[in-house]
Amino acid sequence: MSEELSPEQIQQALQGISVPPQPQIMVDLQMEQYMPDPDLGAIARLIAQDPGLSGALLKIVNSAHYGLSNKIASIDKAVNLLGSRTVINLINAQSIRGEMTDETIVALNRFWDTAQDVAMTSLTLAKRIGSQTADESYALGLFHDCGIPLMLKRFPNYMPVLEEAYANAGPDCRIVDTENSAFDTNHSVVGYYTAKSWRLPAHITDAIANHHNALAIFQDDTSRNATLKNLLAPLKMAEHICQSYRVLGNQDEDHEWESIGALVLDYVGLSEYDFEYLRESIRELGAR
């Protein structure tokens, strides 16, 4: 049975949570909570579309207060463990913290849209290729770029640099290398520490830290990075299918995928033809 957290405990848990929630998701959640009998399933589905809310939820459920033996990454499990009252208190706390200007909302729409698309596509791909980490693939898809809104908040000129990073991407230049040159940090590093603050499982935070280091990881043909590869393979395929290079990078070509695509497909045992068929079937299903 879930144990309700006080508003004070929730505010303490939210310290350091800076990724703002999507305004429309907040409206939909506010509507749901005012129903006579709030639907936890509907609430979980809405929260699972938003990186900031999902991160806040997982930070609470993975805290010492709940004493879980293993950290979880499933939003459904987190909502059921917390119960309706704690989840609604969390939503209300985030709505107070989530005030943004229209200009910020427009800039972040690129991040929000990509996060949802990549998360759902990662989940679908993980299931199609027989991965045992479908829930974790969704979580990684949702959270992998959670450092972007924080970089945007810290550096007003961040988006043009990110676009340049996608343009420069290739075998000799990672996307994060361009960011490092401009800011002495990058969205993968910031995302890693944000995910750690949310108490996500360590293998997911490691994947966030390394999601633009895929070339080196997949070039290593030993078994030491198997867990990382199993998470990154669906993610990198999903990013390509969802055209993150267009939405976030404002590019016509996916230069990163040109460098890593063959290695990723070889790892999961797909030919180029198989991948194209899989991509079209996912689009037809509306996963993308």
Provide the pLDDT for residue 1: 38
What domains can you pick out in the chain, each with its CATH number? 7-95 (no CATH), 102-287 (1.10.3210.10)
Q: What is the pLDDT along the chain (288 residues), one digit of tens a residue?
A: 355 656 565 555 555 556 778 878 887 887 887 777 778 889 999 999 999 889 888 888 888 777 788 888 999 999 888 887 778 777 777 664 555 666 777 778 888 889 989 999 999 999 888 877 788 999 999 999 999 988 888 888 899 999 999 999 999 999 999 999 999 999 999 999 988 888 899 999 999 999 999 999 999 988 889 999 999 999 999 999 999 999 999 999 999 999 999 999 999 999 999 999 999 988 877 654
- CB-based contact 264:236 (threshold 8 Å): yes
CA–CA separation, 227 vs 46, rounded Å?
Answer: 29
Across the chain, the runs of DSSP E, i.e. the strands, are none
Burial environment of residue 172 by CB neighbours within 10 A (0 to 12, 13 to 18, 19 or more):
exposed
- CB-based contact 123:138 (threshold 8 Å): yes
Provide the pLDDT for residue 189: 94
Report the SS3 class of residue 170: strand
pTM exceeds 0.75: yes
